[in-house]
Amino acid sequence: MQIKTLINLGADGHSFAAISRIKLTNIIALITTVISGLYSLNYWLLLDNSTVALINFGFTLAYFATLAFMLSGHVSGAKTWFFSVLMVHLLICTNVYVTNQSGFHLYYFLVPTGAFLLFELHQRREMMALSAASVGLFLYCENTLNLNPLIELDTATNHLLYQSVVLVNMIEVVFVLTIFARQIEANEKQLTLQASTDSLTGLANRHCFFAKGNELLEQSNKLGQTLSVVLLDFDYFKSINDRYGHVVGDLCLVEISKEINAICREQDLFARIGGEEFVIAMPNTSQTQAQQVAERMRERVSKHIIPIVGESNFTCTASFGVASSNKKQALKELLQQADKALYMAKDQGRNCVQLYSAS
């Protein structure tokens, strides 16, 4: 099984934020499994202590079992299992393998941080329970002396081990906080994308159009350039939905939006602002230039074949209204002018381009 497959165990069917936490849990479980396995080999080959090696190998298998929980769909159980195994392992390391002078119990500090990072916000009970357990076990290990450790270490070795535990704790805290910051950033980007994108076509939505469109209009006014707006609406779209169903209607919107987007320039803002209504804001474009582009779009739309499985393919048409800014005016006013031109196109028999004229 590939590493990527192991990391994605249990991630299907969850939200973006939950998937990030699940993947991070799997990564930490895999890393801990590898580290625990290396310790088992160290106890067996270097320290020649088969008893400790066998006990530690059992914990290695227990860490790997976290992935089995994930595979079965028990995400919360997998996280609880991992932290429970970790805390018991630290207890055994401190009070059976060696003594508290080794500092192994300092790893309990990572449990609250890890729990709050990996569990969902609504799982406060699990977070608090694991955090409380880690504090209790830390205090127990701190105040309990193991008089008969399975591995005897001298003072210098204990001191070195203690320092290494403190160093690893610091590194892991920085590592966890870095991951947490990246996760927040990724979530913010995802939310921003969802808030500004039309879920069906992938184009900018109405909110995004007015936000970015106003910026384009303001910039055009400052530079003394003309901003043109092309408003388009599908002809007889209701009849398409009534005849073929809404699934085909959605397919028609997606297909046509791709055809139009192929003509748009990089600086143009193409958005879906209604059911079958789309708009393109064209910076530094005169009304005549916008009309020519709209005519190309109209022709391309009318010739594009919409594929339907099991039925005859069909084509559809769209009507276009064009308006251009010739003074400092609001984007809403410019869109209203394009809307009037669009209604003129509908009155002229549809499948045509009309320019807005104040007269």
Catalytic residues: 276
CA distance 4 to 153: 39
Residue 48 in tokens: 């020649």
Nearest-CA neighbor of 276 among 319, 334, 233, 221?
A: 233
CA distance 102 to 175: 23
Backbone dihedral angles phi then psi of residue 97, each to the nearest 5 degrees: -65, -60
Secondary-structure breakdown of the chain: helix, strand, coil percentages, each rounded to the nearest 5: 65, 10, 25
Computed on alpha carbons and rounded to an integer, the radius of gyration of the chain in Å comes to: 32
Backbone dihedral angles phi then psi of residue 338, each to the nearest 5 degrees: -65, -35
Residue 153 in tokens: 């270490």
CA distance 55 to 357: 85
CA distance 353 to 340: 12
